[in-house]
Structure 1
Amino acid sequence: MKSPQAIIHLSFSSSISFLFYGLAIICLTSATISASYSGNETDYLALLSFKSMITHDPYQVLTSWNHSFHFCDWSGISCGKRHKRVTALRLGSQGLEGSLSPHVGNLSFLRELDLGNNSFQGTIPHELGRLSRLRRLVLHTNKYSGVIPTNLSGCSNLEELWLAENKLVGSIPKETSLLSKLTSLAIYNNKLTGGIPPILGNITSMERFSAAENPFGGSIPDTLGHWKSLTVFQSGDCNLYGRIPHSIFNLSLLVNLSLADNHLTGSLPSEIGNQLPNLELLQLRDNELTGVLPPSISNCSKLGILEMSQNNFSGKLTVDFSKLRDINSIRLQDNNFHGRREADDMRFIDSLKNCTKLVDLVLDNCNLIGVLPISIVNLSNQLSSLYLGHNQLFGSLPSSIGSLVGLTTLDLENNRFKGRIPSTIGKLQKLQRLGLNRNQFSGHIPDAIGNLSLLNDLYLSSNKLEGHIPSSLGNCKKLNGLSLAYNRLSGNIPKQLLQLPSLTYFLDLSYNSLSGSIPPEIKDLNMLSELDLSHNNFSGTITSSLGNCISLILLNLSGNIFQGIIPSSLSSLRGLGSLDISQNNLSGKIPQFLAKWNSLEFLNLSFNDFEGEVPVLGVFANASAFSVLGNNKLCGGLKKRNIQPSQSSDNEWFLKVSYKELLKATNGFSTANLIGEDGFASFYKGILDSDDYNFVVVKVLHLQNRGAHKSFIAECEAWRNIRHRNVLKIITSCSSIDFQGNDFKALVYEFLPNGSVHDLLHSSANTLKLNLLQRISILRDVATALDYLHNCCQTKIVHGDLKPRNILLDNDMVAHVGNFGFARLLGTDLNKNSSTEVNGTIGYAPPEYSIGSEMTTSGDIYSFGILLLEVMIGKKPTDNMFNDGLSLHKFAYMALQDHVIDVIDGDAIVLQSTEANAKKVEECLVATIKIGVSCSVDSPPQRMDIEIVVYELQRILDMLRSI
């Protein structure tokens, strides 16, 4: 047994041993902590706080941030060699999520903080303003919100500040101007307002200012001209207005000047190219700049990108591009570069031969007039995109176009090119988009187009192409959209075309003379969205194979000779939104599945021979969404007007009527019933005793006037060939004798309650005013009627007296062309007129008629152009203001050079309700006036084709309806 002393000694020894063990543990721990911060505890704790606020670290970059390593060895950390203090924190593009700890403001030796391209959120800590040694602060491409801290001005040594691509609000703090060493300020793509503070001009060290995509507002401060070292100035899409200060053009070191998508006005200094010789990018697109594009731009010999599109530049394009050997992209579209007196606007092409790096040349909608020079062969073989559409280029397309083997896009749409499409186009084997639509190309579609194996979109519509559709198109294995509409193509649809699985977007073969049945291979187009075969000569039954085209959202088979029933296989087309099979010879009952489709928004079954009851469900529940007009055997349904035919059948077309009945109908041809007169006839309103007609208009010929008898015969012959919704409907003619034994001849028309366009435009008694949408719609209707008369009648008809008095409007403001007293049926004896006979009406008749030229469809186009300008401007061509060489045509043409909206009839612009719509409305006005001017030029061959007029007016109408 141990003594008490021994026990005490043992107990004491054990206590001492435990104490020493504890001290050893403490010392070891302290040594570990010491290894982590070596006495720099402030930096260590700040970094731990930073880590603690990171909620997601997908690449595990912060795993090294632990006690095993000194913080100077942690990922993304750099330290000074002497004091081991943190000098840089670089964790850009690491996918980090979380918020930025305010304790980072304790890293007092920090010179660089780079957290760009992560997902930090919350506000930027104002404690960062304590980092007086900081030179580079990079927080771009995150999710920071709130304002830019004002006390960042405390970072007095800051050289680069990157806050771009966040969600920052408020304004640029004026205190930023205290950062006297700042060279780069990147704040683009935020939500900053309050304009660009003029006081920023005090930062004379500024080299790069990137502030695009902020809703700043205000103007560009003149004080920014103090930035003499500036190389980059980017403030596009900042809602800036006013002129660009001249001081900006004195910044001779500028390399990148981008002020796109603002509201800047004024002109550019003529010496811009001498003042800014170092420019590599000049981007002023989408503004309201005016004047000429300065030729001195050719002195910017380092220029790689020139973007001046969508402005109001005018005058001839005279930049000498031969000096711009590094130019990569020239985008000048949507300006007005036509030289007023000359038609050689394309000469600048010659100067592009030295531009061997050119990839993009975009000059569509620039009002360029001239031929495409053969020197196009000299363009760079690097050229990928060539856009020259929506100009007034004429002549043939040079065969040298085939030398541009680098092209992926060739867009020449909406010009006046004539002649054949050169077969050399087949050499462009990189081509993905080809747009030759809305021109006057003729002849056959070259088989060589089948060589374009990479082609995605092919637009050849609205030309004069003839012959068969080449089967070689079946070699275009990537084709997803094809439009051949409004041509003169004949023959069958080649089955090779229908076996392209790539054809998924649209196939438009409408308004041609194609024939035969729809090939069964149509079933292979099971991914096609839109199929339009309307207004051709297709016959037979509607093939059941169409039921395999289950992706169709639009199907138009109208205006053909299809017969039989609607096949039940079409019930598979459950995604169909629009179905038009009108104007055929279809029969049978309306299938019930049409009433079950929820997707169907438009259905036209009119002018067929359907029978039975009209369904009342689905699309049939909306009277404005379907039409079954002209199907005499139908019954039931919602509204009788959707079922009754608009015209009697051909064998019952003329109603029997006598002189006595017309005398009674017009109350003895009383002056109270007189509603108008012209040189050949008087027009009376009347009430006819008929089950089918009530109010009518009776045109009584003045047979004592020379030419009246011939006018009557011409009009009767014309009516015998006409059936169209936009042509005034004739009820009957009367050739008899009156009660005194005199010859009597009259024509009886349906009465249209809204009168003539002339009365609506010029009669003070008329309270109904036409808005812009109505005017464009009326013009579209008239153009559609002309297209029908010129191109769709069995015998081509020239109206000969197109003017507002002869355009009548029904209850729905649909326009109908009437009064065919001057009409000529081309190719018949009725087209022969004496050399002394004057056709048409002064002001509307084309100039060639005054020198004895025979009537042509081109003459109608001239009259339509004048009519269009009168409808839009509100002035008659015979107005007193048009003298001393000024005409309605010249007046409109000059308005295109200045400001179109100033000459438009004031009543037309009621559609413009908000400032946001103003630009779109003005675009529509300019496009419409361009059509009128193009139609009414003196030279008949240069007048716009009516098919193109219809297409353009429909496009303008669609644009207005979308506002």
Structure 2
Amino acid sequence: MTCTRCHLFLIPTAATTLSNVLLLITSISLISFCFFIPSNAAATTNATETDLLALLSFKSLILSDPTGALSSWNTSLHHCRWPGVSCGRRHPDRVTGLALDSFQLDGQISPSLGNLTFLQNLSLSDNRLSGNIPEELGRLSRLQYLHLGYNSLHGSIPSALGNNCSNLQFLSLVSNNLEGTIPSSLGQCRNLWLLGLENNLLTGGIPSELGNLQQLDQLYLSFNSLTGTIPPTLGNLTNLKFFDLYSNRFTGSIPDSLGQLKSLRIFQIIDNQISGTIPRSLYNLSNLRMFDLSNNYLQGFLPPYICDSFQTLGALLIYGNQFQGQIPSSLSNCTTLNTIDVSFNNFTGTIPSSLGSLQQLQLLQLSYNQLEAKTSTDWSFIHALINCTNFQYLIAANNQLQGVIPSSLANITSLNTLILSGNPISGSIPAEFGMLTNLTDLELDRTLLSGKIPIEIGNLWNLKGLIMSNNMLSGEIPSTFGNLTKLTELILNNNAFEGRIPPSLEIGKLNNLVQIDLSYNDLSGQIPITIDGCQLLQILQLEGELPEEGVFKNATAVDVKGNPKLCGGLPDYHLPKCISDSPAHNHHSESIKIILVCIGCGFLCISIIMCLIAGCYWRRSQKDPQGIMAMTWEYKKVSYNDLLKATNSFSVANLIGSGSFGVVYKASMSLGSANTVAVKVLNLGQHGAFRSFLSECEALRNVRHRNLIKILSVCSSIDHRGNDFKALIFEFMPNGSLETWLHPNAHNDQPFTALTLLQMMNVAIDIAKALDYLHDHKPVPIIHCDIKPSNVLLDDNMTAHVGDFGLARFLVRSDTVPAQSITITSGIKGSIGYIPPEYGMGGQPSTQGDVYSYGILLLEMFTGISPTDVRFGDGSSLHKHVETAFPTRVMDIIDANLFPSDQETENTFVQENSRECLVSVIQCGLLCSKELSKERIAMSDVVKELNSARNKLLK
């Protein structure tokens, strides 16, 4: 037997000196020791080899190692010295830690890691790992820290993780694609202090056994599809500080037992279906810093004792519920409050002036309630807010605030955003507003304001957005507006302004200005050629020669109807010719005296406004010691260079489609669970492209459904030429758009393959479910506005995903305010052939408009006939063509490609099932595409009808 630790001493020696004698004695002693414990030495050697083999097995399943993290993992170097590997002190050859975070490793986790029996720390987060989480990891009885978050792992959470976890303290599987339920066995991990499972695809309920985790400090279950009620046993988690159930499908009421969570700092159940009232016990959580119950079905009153125990509360967020009654003046007792958002509820009464005692208050969001202000006393809260030295956001749109805006509001010099839109405010705009030099956004649209705009508004040199449309303002536009050099958006349409546009509003002077709307006033003047930076000109009272350069090269981008004094321009405008010696011709290059609408706006400005109005979606940050969430929407950052590399310099070979606002490339890059993505590059020179980018971002960040396209990241950067560059990165859909499956000539370079009847039914139901989800979205329904075959994409399982939200709109509903759409897109409302009749007559976008577009799409899918087919003219349409054949001749108009070539050999029973199914489908399509919107059915009913039709096919 060889002693591996002692063989260096077995060297022949003469032993002629004392030192040699001593060396020999020492050698003999060590030899004796080695032979005295031969079995232990062998066991240690075998265990060391086991660890080595486990690590090599892990490396063998890594398909890509772009940073070279594992390049030195070989036997020329002891495995305890390999990067990412750490070994113990008492057992120096045994692996106790494997940490390879953020190395872009692509591959799977080897089950052999379960053989690292001394492992205490396993951290592989922020890589590109896929596959399942090995059950064998449940054997790691010494494991204390397990972090596999931010990968592309799928499958279920192994129940074995909870069977042998007495030492486990940290378990994070966040941001993967894990499915199934939360294992109840995790309730055995009694030493666990963090459980992070957010941003997965988990279903089912919260196991009541999690109430056994009495050491738990943080519980994160947000962004899943969890259902059921909140277990009362969670009230046993008395050490819990962070409780996050954001964006699931929980129902029922909030258990009283949660009032026992005395250590709780963050309580967040936003965006669920929780009902009932707030239990009184929750108001006793004295350490609470964020109380976020937004976007649920909660009701009742805020009690006067609301702040009796809240000693550290920083944010009270209850928007998007059904609360009623008055806002209690006792909120002033929550002295640490910096954010209050009670918008989209049913609060009445006046705004309490006691809020002015909240010296840390920064944001007060009160929009879409029934709050009143009839007298100067009712407006006293304005004067009180002067005491809030850090106050920045006052947003009270769509209430019942009346009377005159107090001039004392100008004394809130820290104010950043003032939005009082949609209130019956009267009187004039106080000249004192010119003192609000920190103001970046001022919105006073849809009120009863009259008189002139004070010239002092020109002092607001930080202003980015100025919106005063739909009022009774008059006089001339102040020349001092030329001082607003940071202005990106100027909306003054539908007033009574007169005279000419001041030269100070030239595009050349207001370099940041990208949207001006002064339409529907009494303004006049000529159009100079210096407006090439604009993309859209709406109905105005302008005169002179229309330029033929810049934006005016495209007649579809400019609307100049209603301007009888205009002449010239391209033939497509159908304007009279200009007289050569007219003053308009001679002064063709005069400085800007126009009114124009330039689509697009500063991304930062609009994103702040939309976040505040639609409800501030606060995001958890573990590094925030105060527990106050930042209002951000974060994805893994993607740079312009990343996209340049992934698309091979935007090669034509990778081009997979184009649309109104840009082109789409196939790209090889890993984001989330995808290794191949689709990159939509915006053509910012096209009118509406910038706003389309913003609209798509705003819509997609608020939705989550298996039949909606998933956005993976965004890129807002500068290209190599110094130009603005914006792109959206989506999941890649290998089966392309529905367009290519409906019409043989959609792509001439590809062979045509038709869907079967059952496949087409599945696709139709998928689209219907997506629209039903959007129309019922809480708290604000979403209107897609552009349903057509090219905007429906099919994944590798032929599941349909609705995409392209570039024209999407938010629909605000209230008991006191009529339904109205909120949008950050241009006036375009769909695609030819799919636009509902009411849109063409100036009607506002609605969910019923989407229903019409879907109905036309449904008829197209099952007849194979496009609504823009050349046969439809002189009053004919796809709807009328199908209606004439319904129901007796339905099979005559059905696309023959839906049936296999040997359809005639099938038995009569199968044929009858198919006919019954198709009759129901066609009837549904006709009901959806009725000319009158009130006669159309809702998407929820469409889903039921199509499911019933599919059952007829399968019976």
Q: How high is the TM-score relative to the length of structure 2? A: 0.55
Quick one: which amino acid aligns to residue 457 of structure 1?
G
Q: Identify the residue that residue 261 of structure 1 maps to in structure 2.
A: 271
Q: Which position in structure 2 is the counterpart of 1:106?
A: 115
Query: Is 1:51 paired with 2:59?
Result: yes
Aligned to 2:351: 346
Verify: 1:527 aligned to 2:533, yes or no.
yes
The C-alpha deviation readout for 1:765-814, integer Å capped at 9, x for no partner, is: xxxxxxxxxxxxxxxxxxxxxxxxxxxxxxxxxxxxxxxxxxxxxxxxxx
Q: Would the aligned equivalents of 1:507 and 1:531 in 2 still touch at CA under 8 Å? A: no
- Give yes or no for contact 2:339–2:364 (8 Å, CA) kept in 1: yes
Contact kept in structure 1, 2:184 and 2:209, CA below 8 Å: yes
How much does 1:547 deviate? 5.0
Q: Which amino acid aligns with 2:849?
A: R
State the shift of 1:497 in Å: 1.4
Q: Secondary structure at the match of 1:465?
A: strand
- Give the letter for the 1:261 counterpart: D
Q: How far apart, CA to CA, are the structure 1 residues paired with 2:306 and 2:258?
A: 16
Q: 1:288 to 1:41 in 2, by over 3 A?
A: same
1:355 to 349, 352, 359: 359
In structure 2, what residue type is equivalent to 1:359? Answer: Q
Shift of 1:176: 1.9
Aligned counterpart for 2:87 among listed residues 57, 76, 79: 79
Structure 2 residue matching 1:530: 3-state secondary structure:
coil
Deviations 1:66-121 (A, max 9, x none): 44543333332322211112222222223322221211111111111111122211
Provide the C-alpha distance between the structure 1 equivalents of 2:845 and 2:178, rounded to a whole number of angstroms: 41
How far the C-alpha of 1:363 sits from its partner, in A, is 1.3
Matched, 1:158 2:168: yes
The 1:125/1:364 distance shift into structure 2, 3 A limit, reads same
Contact 2:258 2:282 in 1 (8 A): no
| C-alpha contact (below 8 Å) 1:506/1:531 kept by paired residues | no
Distance 1:59 1:407, change over 3 A: farther
Which one of the candidate residues 208, 211, 220 is aligned to 1:201? 211
* Matched position secondary structure for 2:451: strand
- Which residue identity is paired with 1:499? I
Aligned to 1:451: 459
> Residues 148 and 39 (structure 1 numbering): CA distance in 2 closer, same or farther, change over 3 Å?
closer
Q: 1:372 aligns with which of 374, 379, 385?
A: 379
**Are the structure 2 counterparts of residues 508 and 546 from structure 1 closer, same or farther at C-alpha, using a change threshold of 3 Å?**
farther
Aligned CA distance change for structure 1 residues 102 and 238 (closer, same or farther; 3 Å): same
How many angstroms apart in 2 are the aligned matches of 1:220 and 1:167? 23
Corresponding residue number in structure 1 for 2:546: 543
Deviation at 1:179, TM superposition (A): 2.0
How much has 1:507 moved relative to structure 2? 1.9
**Higher mean C-alpha displacement, 101-110 vs 57-66:** 57-66
How far apart in 2 are the matches of 1:530 and 1:350? 47
The AA in structure 1 aligned to 2:518 is L
Q: Paired residue for 2:323?
A: 313
Secondary structure class of the residue paired with 1:351 = helix
Query: In the alignment, residue 231 of structure 1 is paired with which amino acid?
Result: K
Counterpart of 2:392 in structure 1 is: 384
Say what the alpha-carbon RMSD is for the aligned residues: 3.3
Aligned residues of 1:530 and 1:553 also touching (Cα < 8 A) = no
Q: CA deviation at 1:918?
A: 4.6
Shift of 1:329: 2.0
1:917 and 2:925 correspond: no
Contact 2:236 2:260 in 1 (8 A): no
- Tell me the distance in 2 between the aligned counterparts of 1:925 and 1:351: 27
In structure 2, the residue matched to 1:888 is none
1:317-376 per-residue CA deviation (whole Å, 9 max, x = no partner) reads 00533333332322211111103xxxxx112x43233332x3322111121111432425
Higher relative contact order, chain-length normalized (CA < 8 Å, sep 6+): 2
* Residue of structure 1 aligned with 2:144, choices 130, 135, 143: 135
Q: Is the 8 A contact 1:329 1:359 kept in 2?
A: yes
Separation in 2, partners of 1:227, 1:366 = 36
954 and 111 in structure 1: CA distance in 2 versus 1, 3 angstrom threshold: farther
Query: Contact conserved, 2:187 with 2:210, CA < 8 A, in 1?
Result: yes
Q: Which residue of 1 aligns with 2:179?
A: 169
Partner of 2:190: 180
Deviation at 1:958, TM superposition (A): 4.2
1:588 positional shift = 6.8
> 1:330 touches 1:360 (CA, 8 Å); kept in 2?
yes
2:693 paired residue number: none
Equivalent residue letter for 1:87 = T
**1:935 corresponds to which residue?**
none
Q: What amino acid does structure 1 have at the position aligned with 2:488? A: N
1:285 maps to 294
Does the aligned pair in 1 maintain the 2:355–2:385 contact within 8 Å?
no
Which of 256, 262, 277 is the aligned partner of 1:246? Answer: 256
Q: Does 1:399 align with 2:399?
A: no
Could you tell me how far 1:212 is from its partner in structure 2?
A: 0.4
Is the Cα contact below 8 Å between 1:201 and 1:226 reproduced in 2?
Answer: yes
Query: Is this contact kept in 1: 2:546–2:568, CA < 8 A?
Result: no
Gapped regions of structure 2 (runs ≥ 5)? 1-41, 579-769, 783-809, 820-837, 852-955
Structure 1 residues 380 and 78, CA gap change in structure 2 (3 angstroms) = farther
Render the CA deviation track for 1:858-890: whole Å, top value 9, x for unaligned: xxxxxxxxxxxxxxxxxxxxxxxxxxxxxxxxx
Which shows bigger deviation, 302-311 or 452-461? 452-461
The corresponding residue for 1:622 is: none
State the shift of 1:39 in Å.
Answer: 7.2
Give the whole-Å Cα distance in 2 for the aligned partners of 1:156 and 1:557.
74
Call closer, same or farther: CA 1:157–1:388 in 2, change over 3 Å: same
Equivalent pair of 1:112/1:136 in contact (CA under 8 Å):
yes
Deviation at 1:493, TM superposition (A): 1.4
Letter in 2 for 1:351: L
Match of 2:498 among 490, 501, 517: 490
**1:676-715 map, 5 Å:** none
Instruction: State the secondary structure of the residue aligned to 1:152.
Output: helix
Mapping of 1:612-623 within 5 angstroms? none
Code of the residue aligned with 2:558 in structure 1: it is L
Give the whole-Å Cα distance in 1 for the aligned partners of 2:372 and 2:843.
Answer: 22
Number of the residue aligned with 1:567 = 569
Separation of aligned partners in 2, 1:446 and 1:549: 34
The match for 1:939 is none
Separation in 2 of the partners of 1:921 and 1:118? 35
Q: 2:101 aligns with which of 92, 104, 107?
A: 92
- What is the rounded CA distance, in whole Å, between the counterparts of 2:208 and 2:266 in structure 1? 21
Alignment match, 1:805: none
1:531 partner SS:
coil
Q: Distance in 2 between matches of 1:432 and 1:314?
A: 32
- 1:308 to partner: Cα distance: 0.7
- 1:205 maps to a residue whose letter is Q
Secondary structure of the corresponding residue to residue 532 of structure 1: coil
Preserved CA contact (<8 Å) 1:383 1:404:
yes
Shift of 1:204: 3.2
**Secondary structure of 2:219's aligned partner:** strand
| Structure 1 pair 551–473 and aligned structure 2 pair: CA distance change class (3 A) | farther
8 Å CA contact 2:527–2:547 kept in 1: the answer is no
Deviations 1:30-54 (A, max 9, x none): xxxx9x9897222222222223333
In 1, are the aligned partners of 2:385 and 2:391 still within 8 Å (CA)?
Answer: no
TM-superposed CA distance for 1:156, in Å, is 2.9
Which residue matches 1:120?
Answer: 129
Query: Could you say if the C-alpha distance between residues 130 and 317 of structure 1 is closer, same or farther in structure 2, counting changes exceeding 3 Å?
Result: same
Instruction: Tell me if the contact between 1:157 and 1:181 (Cα under 8 Å) persists in the aligned partners.
Output: yes
* Alignment counterpart, residue 336 of structure 2, candidates 326, 336, 344: 326
- Give the conservation status (yes or no) of the 8 Å contact 1:528–1:551: no
What is the TM-score when the length of structure 1 is the normalising length?
0.54
Which residue matches 1:475? 483
Conservation of the 8 A alpha-carbon contact between 1:927 and 1:956: no
CA contact under 8 A between 2:359 and 2:389: conserved in structure 1?
no
8 A contact 2:551–2:558 mirrored in 1 = no
Distance apart, 1:312 and its partner CA: 0.6
Deviation at 1:225, TM superposition (A): 1.9
